[in-house]
Amino acid sequence: MSSQAPASGLRLQIAAIEQEIASLLAQKAKLEETLATVPFPALSLPLDIARLIFHRVVPDHPSNRRIVEALKIAGVCTAWRDIVFTAPELWTTVAVKTGNVAMVQALDTWLPRTKGSAFKLIINFERDERVATAVWAAATRYSAQWQDVLLTTGDSLTLPLPNSLPALTALTIQGDLALECADGSTVDAPHFSHLSLDTPILMFQLGLPLEQVATLYLQGESYSGLIPILAKTPDVRDLTLDFSDSDGLVASAGASSPLVLTCLHTLEYNHDLPEAIVIALVLPVLHTLRFRSELPGPFNTVPTSQLLTMPGTGARRALRELEIGRTRGHTVTSQVMAWLAGLPTLTRLTICLDGFGPEDIATFCNEIAGGDLLPELETLLITHMKRAVEAQVLADVVERRWRWVGGGSRIKKFEVQLVGEDVLGYVERRLGSGQMKGLEYMISQGHSTHPHNLNMY
């Protein structure tokens, strides 16, 4: 009896504690029920909290939608109006059209609310050049705060640049719009590094420090004069060329001497980039190659060999990342396999399999799963798989490769678009079995995405 006395006492204490917990839970439920009927005192929120909430509510949209939503909040009450008009983070995207001279007054009203913060400026220049000039002058008064600038015009237009743009990082120009300094000098813009043009010839009419450009996007209808244009940005790291040579000026696209881009890390271009341009480019540190659409042709062509050969040595370049935007037809399927076989150093592959049939997909997966193809691959991203495919094939390519460590890398990240609920479920079960710790994979079906990280297992 005496030996059970301590245990009996503990049981009594536990019962008392449980009774107290039950009483507290009942009180908590009653309080929550009462609080649910009381409006939250939003007006008593600390200023910083209210500003943060408003910032989350107002969409970060590249148009005046942001300002419209901010003004809606300001119209609720005087307190919220004061918060909106004194919160610079709500005014960091300003978009205007120059069709109405009232936009000058709008800028003079909106821009002081940024309180010196850097902001994104979007101007769509319309036909009235007088109004366009007035709007530009109003915006220029705050040019020290310009961070990201997008300018659009349907007509040919030349505008003056201020002497200094201390916060500018990115400029996008859509249309024939030149930005020049009055004395022909170059603007002081120490942080400028991103440039996007759909009229590349404007490169010769920009009073900006182009030698600082690290990311360059060029779009147009002709490759003519492209090499001299690229020579204006000698230190570019990421280059995208999006052209359609509709006027046939391919012959004049090349250059008499090669262009060496010593910093170019990533190159993205259309499949129809002329051979003259590919051959003229000397890219000693190229790391990533992206094709916006189909492959440019068979792997063993002269332009490809030139692009993938280290200058001065003749050795094959150790390309690490390849992205293929589209695959169409059996001929292209064989070309894809030839490209992959010729790039054994790839660690990341993004490939669109819209042109692959079930047999092609099976061949592709089996080659990778065996380790003979892409032995150093770590990340595999498969997109636009529109045909039904056997689920086991897709699961095998990751599961078998994950375990394959004979002198090569393991696949660490896997993303794929799948068709069919049965396929989705099967692959999720196989990859989520807990045997591949550290694997990250994402399975998309239609508009649904299912991200996973197996570090949790």
pLDDT digits (tens, 9 = 90+) for 159-191: 999 989 999 999 999 999 999 887 778 999 999
Supply the pLDDT for residue 191.
Answer: 96
Quick check: pTM over 0.85? Answer: no
Buried/exposed 289-321: b ≥16 CB within 10 Å, e otherwise: bbbbbbbbeebeeebbebbbeeeeeeeebebbb
pLDDT, tens digit, for every residue of 140-155? 999 999 999 999 998 8
Can you tell me which residue has the tokens 């001299």? 228
Paired strand residues for 441? 414, 452
Q: How far apart are CA 369 and CA 363, in angstroms?
A: 10
Residues lower than pLDDT 50 in the chain = 1, 246-254, 405-407, 419-421, 447-457
Residue 277 belongs to what H/E stretch? Answer: helix 275-280
Supply the pLDDT for residue 409.
Answer: 54
Supply the pLDDT for residue 215.
Answer: 97
Supply the pLDDT for residue 447.
Answer: 43
Q: How far apart are CA 231 and CA 261, in angstroms?
A: 8
Which tokens hold the place of 277? 């341009």
